[in-house]
Amino acid sequence: MKMAFFDTKPYDERGFREAGERYGIEYRFFETKLTAHTCSLAAGCDGVVVFVSDTVDREVIDRLCGMGIRLVALRCAGFNNVDLKAAEGRVTVVRVPSYSPSAVAEHAFALLLCLCRRIHRAYLRTREFNFSLNGLTGKGLKGKVAGIVGAGQIGRAFAEIAAGFGMEVLAYDPFPAADSGLAYRSLDEVLKRSDVLSLHCPLTAETRHMIDGQAITAMRDGAVLINTSRGALVDSEALLHGLRSGKLGGACLDVYEEETELFYEDLSDRTVRDELLATLISLPNVIVTSHQAFLTEEALTAIAEITSRNVVTVLKREPCENEVREKRA
Ligand code: NAI
């Protein structure tokens, strides 16, 4: 079994080499992202392994099929970068639906604590031996309301942490789970009542820009928005406006709608042309991380293990529980 592995980062290789040895898979690592121009690197392989910023559109799928490739293995949970309609009946798409929900939830909460207690600013100050506390007054979380949009695995893990901090947790999810023990409310109520709003739903046509100008207006004054899900859930222009006007108290962003050409790369010696992102990063009440919420040792091991299991299952033509299909209306 040979798999072409696109957008390889140094932290990917070890776990996949080890899992590959266990499962009899030869991973061929390429640093480049998968696009219509780089597809040919997969020649001679049984499938491709891709991540969130690889392109798996109709053109790429046509080219893969032209090379006899029938497997796209996502090494992530989200699959909004795959044209499932184009894949239907031609290419099997598998993903890793869950590898460490706590990794993402913990990162979301870490960002929140960092922002609320101004750790990001204090860290920079003390490195310069500036021990002044001016401007570092924090905001407590105990007794405040945490609103969760999308109460799946990660949303629930976040809810548990928030509850541990003494927060009241409200959840919005169009598919409430009977066994979650969560207090489900309408999206409107969650927006209105939350001091902290954390997004944990998938990006779909329906959820794109769900946090737009109107939603931000409906939010509580001074609320903090956390997005560790997908960038395009939030209208970034509206977010910037909400922050600049003082309507929002802050934003913790692990994802950004135009992140594909930026995140995961070292651009420190270049001028980043995305003015919106540059402005967001420059604000004192915004923390941006580069889609790293998943990145723990535990999660990387689980991703390599589950992806390898998916690959073997599909190539043996057995049914795979992690297959992703276009939803039928
Ligand atoms: P999940 O499938 O367990 O939960 C998603 C929840 O969203 C479900 O309960 C679903 O009913 C709900 N939902 C669906 N449509 C909705 C809507 N219109 N409004 C509100 N809720 C809606 O998924 P999981 O594992 O909790 O992951 C959530 C998201 O986190 C993923 O879709 C992915 O985009 C993101 N993610 C981000 C990572 C990172 O490193 N930043 C890593 C892994 C996932």
Tens of pLDDT, residue by residue over 36-77, are: 999 999 999 999 999 988 999 999 999 999 999 999 999 998
> What is the rounded distance in angstroms from the CA atom of residue 256 to the CA atom of residue 294?
15
- For residue 52, the model assigns a pLDDT of 86
Cα separation, 304 vs 18, in Å, equals 8
> Does the C-beta of 186 come closer than 6 Å to ligand 1?
no
pLDDT in tens, 140-190: 999 999 999 999 999 999 999 999 999 999 999 999 999 999 999 999 999
The fraction of the chain above a pLDDT of 70, given in percent, is 99
pLDDT higher than 60, residue 329: no
* Set 63, 156, 291, 309: catalytic member: 291
What is the spatial distance between Cα 239 and Cα 160, in angstroms, rounded to a whole number?
A: 27
230: CA distance to ligand 1 center in Å? 9
- Tell me the per-residue pLDDT of 70-110, one tens digit each, with 9 for 90 and over: 999 999 988 989 999 999 999 999 999 988 999 999 999 99
Distance of alpha carbon 257 from alpha carbon 133, whole angstroms: 34
Rounded Cα–Cα distance for residues 154 and 104 (Å): 7
pTM of the model: 0.90
Given pLDDT bands bounded at 50, 70 and 90, which one contains residue 132? very high
From 51, 53, 104, mutation site for ligand 1 pocket: most ligand atoms within 8 A of C-beta: 104
% residues pLDDT > 90 (the chain) = 92
Annotation marks residue 291 as catalytic? yes
Among the listed residues 123, 326, 100, 137, the one whose alpha carbon sits nearest the alpha carbon of residue 228: 100
pLDDT of residue 135: 95
255 Cβ below 6 A of ligand 1: yes
Cβ–Cβ under 8 Å, residues 164 and 194: no
Whether the predicted pLDDT of 212 surpasses 90? yes
